Amino acid sequence: MINGNAAAAERREPSVPVLDVRDLRIEFPIREKALVAIDGVSFSIGHGEILGVVGESGAGKSLTGSALIGLLQAPGHIAAGTIHLSGQRIDNLPETEQRRLRGKRIGAIFQDPLTSLDPLFTVGRQLTETIHTHFPSMSRADAKGRAMQLLAEVGIADPATRFDQYPHQFSGGMRQRIVIALALAGEPELIIADEPTTALDVSIQAQILALLKRLARTRDTAIMLVTHDMGVIAEVADRVAVMYAGRLVEIGPVEDIVRRPNHPYTVGLMASIPPLHRQPERLAQISGSMPRLGSWPTGCSFHPRCPHAGPRCEVSTPLLMPAGATAAACFLHQGGTAL
């Protein structure tokens, strides 16, 4: 008997990643000049892989996510670069085609489960509505059955009763599970989870993260997990992308990023996580703050805060290059010295 999984694996050509972003550049035209919010960002996510995207607020993590699902707030737009979904280019599709991808091939999970659901409709209605949008030929009864299955899959007990309840009758954690069920309704290849646990209690966070991890494994879904919480990343991500001021500064496997970071910003970021086992005298911090959009420095945008910065960093922008087990955008690892 031919193994079903093997056949599926062959169909999806393992060499083609689910998501492939190349040199993405997002601009906001303000009056005459264009503010560059994302510049030269490249990464890819494979089947069943969870890519954590970390960075401070304003680094461009969520913006990247919005660009992927084609929901950039006007006047923001993709000014350069390409986005491929399972080999198909999607960044230049017309709006109607892009909408067909949303929810169907790319699912999204947002930060606040309390406000992500329409308060006036039952969760069942919101689920079947989404299912019908993506599978128009499905009968009402089948759609309802599918909705119940999804509720059960994301860990909602007693789906038959819960189906007819309204969002306010669920706790925050349960609502995030429903949001996840909604994101799964179209059977997407890729899920973009934008701070999915930030608004939740710590104990609930772990459950939601475990759920996401399980979905990636069992459904083979690629997940882009946007967060500013390194703890979340360390718990579930396979690989980590670190963003700073609109650029990707380092990307690599999670152990290497956490244990042996190469970019000075990542090093600073890791040093600022309180260790579990001993009490440090004082937490390390990166001096200064990330520059605001529109006032980014020339060269490497991190150089004003970097302890290793040299004259070269002020004039030219380092590209992402292999550095140890990761890839880092820093001259320290490209020719050894920034000086």
Determine the 3-state secondary structure of 287 from DSSP.
Answer: coil
Tell how strand 222-226 and strand 190-194 pair up.
parallel
State the chain's maximal CA–CA distance in angstroms.
Answer: 68
Residues ≥6 apart with Cβ < 8 Å to 297: 291, 303, 304, 314
User: Closest CB to another protein among 133 and 334?
Assistant: 133
Q: Least distance to another protein from the beta carbon of 165, Å?
A: 9
Tokens of 111: 């930060």
Answer yes or no whether residue 74 interacts with another protein by CB under 8 A. no
Q: Least distance to another protein from the beta carbon of 102, Å?
A: 4
Binds another protein (CB under 8 A): choice among 88, 115, 149, 218: 115
Residues ≥6 apart with Cβ < 8 Å to 185: 103, 107, 127, 130, 131, 134, 146, 147, 150
DSSP 255: H
User: Closest CB to another protein among 193 and 211?
Assistant: 193
Burial (0-12, 13-18, 19+ Cβ within 10 Å), 85: buried
Binds another protein (CB under 8 A): choice among 28, 43, 110, 170: 110
Answer yes or no whether residue 99 interacts with another protein by CB under 8 A. yes
Question: Residue 53's beta-bridge partner residues?
Answer: 226, 241
User: Closest CB to another protein among 116 and 205?
Assistant: 116
Q: Least distance to another protein from the beta carbon of 222, Å?
A: 16
Cis peptide before 261 (omega within 30 of 0): no
Q: Least distance to another protein from the beta carbon of 123, Å?
A: 11
Site string for another protein, 159-178 (x = CB under 8 A): -------x-x----------
User: Closest CB to another protein among 103 and 264?
Assistant: 103
**Rounded Cα–Cα distance for residues 177 and 188 (Å):** 16
Q: Least distance to another protein from the beta carbon of 121, Å?
A: 8
Cβ 15 vs Cβ 65: under 8 Å: no
Q: Least distance to another protein from the beta carbon of 275, Å?
A: 35
Site string for another protein, 119-148 (x = CB under 8 A): xxxx------xx--xx--------------
Interface positions with another protein (CB under 8 A): 69, 71, 99-104, 107-108, 110, 112, 115-122, 129-130, 133-134, 166, 168, 179, 182-183, 185-186
